[in-house]
Amino acid sequence: MELRSVRRIYQGFFLLLFLVLLVANTSGLSGLGINYNTPVRLFLELSPLNGLSTLLATGVLYKGLILSLIVVGFTVFFGRLFCGWFCPFGTLHQLASWLFFSKKRGRDLLARNAYRKLYTLKYYLLFALLLCAVLGLNLAGFFDPIALTYRSLTLAITPILLHQYIPAEFSNGWVFGVLFIGLLLLNLIYPRFWCRVLCPLGALLGTMVVAPLFKIQRDENKCTNCNLCALRCQGGDDPNGVHRVRECHVCLNCTTSCNDDAISYRFLGDLGEGRKLDLDRRKLVLTLSASAFLPLVVRASSGRTRAPSPACIRPPNALPEQDFVRTCIKCGSCMKTCPSNALHPAFAEAGFEGFWTPVMVPRIGWCTQNCNLCSKACPTGAIRRFTIEEKIGRPIRQGSAVIDPGRCLPFAYGRPCIVCEEMCPTSPKAIFFEEVEVEFRGTRKTLKRPRIDLRYCTGCGICENKCPVGSQPAVYVIPSGETRETRDRFLLE
């Protein structure tokens, strides 16, 4: 079999596996939960960019992220095999560019698949991200292709395609859909535009291709300079000239298309000039200085540590906020797995560092008492593992319920209600009521008014979800009082 066909089979297999594991990360399919023997986090854990950036930002390489060493090993020995054979986003880009360029022939295609200085942009982006991570601002998740694909498919694509089976919807999901489709459309400019120009994981892997044991090698004596090898080159790495081994995706289109047997993927090939990272020192200095500014100014403007947003309700047992935003890679895995569709990507409510991190929106879904799936789905430990016994027993609080007497039916409108008390899942119930005699427009009434006993409230949000005052519930959850954060407590305990 041609090596190219082998590569295509691998690509198809890994894309399928990625999709299967994504769909498997849905509690609804099995009712109570996923069998977490299925490695739903696998792809996210395999990305060395996720591993390295969380390591730099937090000082810890969490749990499964050690698996990314496998990818490092492969890359060091064989080149960017990951990009050409494994990466599901890469495969999608290859499919998109095939769609746009399969009919093109000759000079145009050759020009579009040639190496360009623009392709070094991703290295500058990578160094900027890593420097930000060192300075405590973990932005890698925005750009990591695995996290990006996982997030886009979770928040935008499955809600369209699988809505019938997985009825979750996400606030602002359209943003992720538009970005995702937009990135695929970039393939109209150059094939695999993202992979060649933007992907910081590709860049990270490129930096590891120092002395690969295997590489593409052209025999100049046999070569007739027909350029067939460069026609379908995925990496844009000039196999017909000075081969840029760091750019090569090892797609093996070149070896397969050569009619003269002049080009091959060879053990201990000659490294030559193409091994150099084509970076400009001045640009690099400029990039690093500019990007160092970002974490500093974010740190100096984090007013929300003093005035936390009331909408920033985190998943149960999340790390304290400062650590959480450093650790979370915004992959959307917790949002995908949440059985009650409670978790949604944050926009402004969590500040710059918390953009797209998970927040609970109780009006859409509440935190189900008998559930700890988000902590199992999290690849970086931003949501720490916990058992259901701990969740109920300690208890783990996400915040506190607040009653607004200006809107609450028994308080403001003189009518009975008590839906929040009925729904409250704790025993004893955190919401209780007191009976009061009131005079409402000349009629004497006995009303049961809800009150909250914060000793029992976990901030699960079911009261807010079920409150009949729908557009602006009369009982709602604020993050104050959450277990993880000592700075935002307001009760003496």
Partner 1 sequence: MSKTLDRREFFKRFTQASGIILATTAGSLFFHDRARAETPAKKLRDHRKGISPAERMVVLRGQNIEAMVLKGFDAMGGAGAFIKKGDRVLLKPNMAWDRAPEQGANTNPLVVAAVVKAVLAAGAKEVIVADVPCNDPKKVLVRSGIRDAALKAGAKDVLVPQTGEDVEFDGKVLSTFAVGKEYLEADRIINLPVVKSHSLSGMTCCMKNWYGLLIGRRHELHQNINDSIADLAVAVKPTLTIIDATRILVHNGPTGGAMSDVVTKDTIVFTTDEVAGDAWAADLMGKTARELPYIGLAAARGAGKSDYARILKEEIAVGA
Please give the residue ranges that form the binding site for partner 1 (CB under 8 A).
27-28, 31-32, 339-340, 368-371, 409, 415-419, 421-429, 433, 448, 462, 466-468, 470
Least distance from C-beta 365 to partner 1, angstroms? 8
As measured in angstroms, the least distance from the Cβ of 250 to partner 1 is 43
**Least distance from C-beta 72 to partner 1, angstroms?**
39
Looking at the Cβ atoms of 225 and 370, the one nearer to partner 1 is 370
Contact between 241 and 216 (Cβ < 8 Å): no
**CB-neighbour burial class of residue 61 (10 A; exposed 0-12, middle 13-18, buried 19+):** middle
Cβ proximity to partner 1: between 256 and 426 the closer is 426
CA distance 57 to 167: 35
Distance in Å, CB of 33 to partner 1, minimum: 9
Q: How far is the CB of 177 from partner 1 (least distance, A)?
A: 24
State in angstroms the smallest separation of the CB of 82 from partner 1: 36
309 or 369: CB nearest partner 1: 369
Specify the residue, 304 or 448, whose C-beta has the smaller distance to partner 1.
448
DSSP 97-152: HHHHHTT--HHHHHHHTS--GGGGHHHHHHHHHHHHHHTT---HHHH-HHHHHHHH
Residue 143 one-letter amino acid: F
Please state the closest distance from residue 236 (CB atom) to partner 1, in A. Answer: 47
User: Minimum distance between the CB of residue 346 and partner 1, rounded to whole angstroms?
Assistant: 23
Q: How far is CA 479 from CA 63, 134, 322, 401, 424, in A?
A: 28, 29, 15, 9, 17
Of 382 and 460, the one with the shorter C-beta distance to partner 1 is 460
Q: Which is nearer to partner 1, 371 or 452 (CB)?
A: 371
Phi-psi region of 432 (alpha: psi -120 to 50; beta: other; left: phi over 0): beta
> Closest separation between CB of residue 392 and partner 1, Å?
8
Shortest Cβ distance from residue 19 to partner 1 (Å)? 21
Phi, psi of 93 (to 5 degrees): -65, -40
Separation between Cα atoms, residue 31 and residue 230, nearest integer Å: 51
- Show the tokens assigned to 371: 């559930």
Task: Give the span between the Cα atoms of 212 and 275, in whole angstroms.
Answer: 10
Q: Residue 461 CB, nearest distance to partner 1 (Å)?
A: 13
Which of residues 331 and 424 has its CB atom nearest to partner 1 in the complex?
A: 424
By beta-carbon proximity to partner 1, the closer residue of 52 and 474 is 474
- Of residues 331 and 423, the one with the C-beta less far from partner 1: 423
The residue (of 283 and 415) whose beta carbon lies closer to partner 1 is 415
CA distances 77 to 81, 276, 281, Å, are 9, 17, 27
| Shorter beta-carbon distance to partner 1: residue 81 or 360 | 360
- Assigned token pair, 297: 């100014």
**Measured distance CA(81)–CA(74) in Å, rounded:** 7
359 by Cβ neighbours in 10 Å (0-12 / 13-18 / 19+) ranks as buried
Which is nearest to 151 in space by CA: 56, 18, 33? 18
Shortest separation between residue 73's beta carbon and partner 1, angstroms: 40
Nearer of residues 26 and 58 to partner 1, judged by Cβ: 26
Report the candidate in 233, 196, 199 with the shortest Cα–Cα distance to residue 216.
233
435: exposed, middle or buried (C-beta count within 10 Å: 0-12, 13-18, 19+)? Answer: exposed
What contacts 362, CB < 8 A, 6 or more positions away?
Answer: 313, 342, 460, 461, 462, 464, 465, 476, 477
Query: Angle CA(257)–CA(264)–CA(207) in degrees, nearest 5?
Result: 110
CA dist., res. 315 & res. 311, Å (int): 12
